[in-house]
Amino acid sequence: MIVKEEFLSRLRKIFDLNLYEVKVWTALLSRGTSTAGELSTISDVPRSRTYDILESLEKKGFILMKLGKPIKFVALKPEEVVERVKKNLMVYAKERSQRLEKLKGDEVLEELSTLFTKGVKFVEPSELSGSLKGRQNLYNHLDMMVRDAEKTITIITTAEGLNRKFEALMPSLEKCKKRGVTIRIAAPIDKNNLKVAKDLSKVAEVRNLTKIKARFVIIDSTQLMFMLLDDEKFHPNYDIGIWINTTFFAQALEQMFELAWKDMKKV
């Protein structure tokens, strides 16, 4: 059986399998039912590893073990595998979420917080900085910044970025609004994001940005996150953001933004 490496690589990413697992699985799919020895030969996976791999695939819901001698393994329909993997993933995520939720108030979390608090005392504010790669990582950090806001939040983004921020940040922005945080958002407004802009106007002052193309967020005139790439030209996985804790730079950028803010039209 010859399966292209590119196809195997795609399967590994989609189903979160290692190389031996995906080789044995595709080998079994090509046969329907087979023994471990036959699959070892077809997939070019060492026989000593094949039983472990088959056991792993069975636990993950990819195959079934057929009773009898010799022991044979049966492939499931790919559509059924997708459904099983989805269900297993949801159960796993729920269990992990519950485990993390139990940490609140636990002595483990208190000890971790103590370590962090003591460590931060020895760090200069200007040294609290870092780079983040991948849009999901960027939004995870942005959400944390927004949740910690005490006075002001200033968001400058693109037309499509406005839609993403509504989806990722709206719950946290609503909580900030209730706490009395002043929120301002500037972005190009068009027919594709007008509804989102109006929904965001319930928690923030939203204005139409026409002359500037930028992506950055300022929190309490102290923390700043700015994105380095044009979101229309680069894949989300390659998006890069820089986070810095610098009152001097954040205030300077906010003052320049004030000049542009006055010329923007309200939504």
pLDDT score for 160 = 93
Residue 220: left if φ>0, alpha if ψ -120 to 50, beta else—which one? left
The segment with the largest mean pLDDT, out of 106-115, 188-197, 244-253, is 188-197
125, pLDDT greater than 60: no
Q: Which residue shows structure tokens 């005392």?
A: 121
Domains 5-92 and 127-266 agree in fold: no
What's the per-residue H, E or C state across 61-76? Answer: CCEEEECCCCCEEEEC
Domain ranges of the chain: 5-92, 127-266
Q: Note the pLDDT tens digit of each residue in 42-69.
A: 888 999 999 999 999 988 888 888 777 8
Amino acid identity, position 152? T
76: how many CB neighbours lie within 10 A of its CB? 18
| The CATH number of the domain covering residues in 127-266 | 3.30.870.10
Least confident among 44-53, 97-106, 192-201: 97-106
Phi, psi of 156 (to 5 degrees): -120, 125
As a whole number of angstroms, the distance between CA 150 and CA 220 comes to: 7
* Residue 152: strand pairing partners: 182
Any idea how long the chain is? Answer: 267
Task: Report domain 5-92's class.
Answer: mainly alpha
Q: Note the pLDDT tens digit of each residue in 73-84.
A: 888 888 888 888
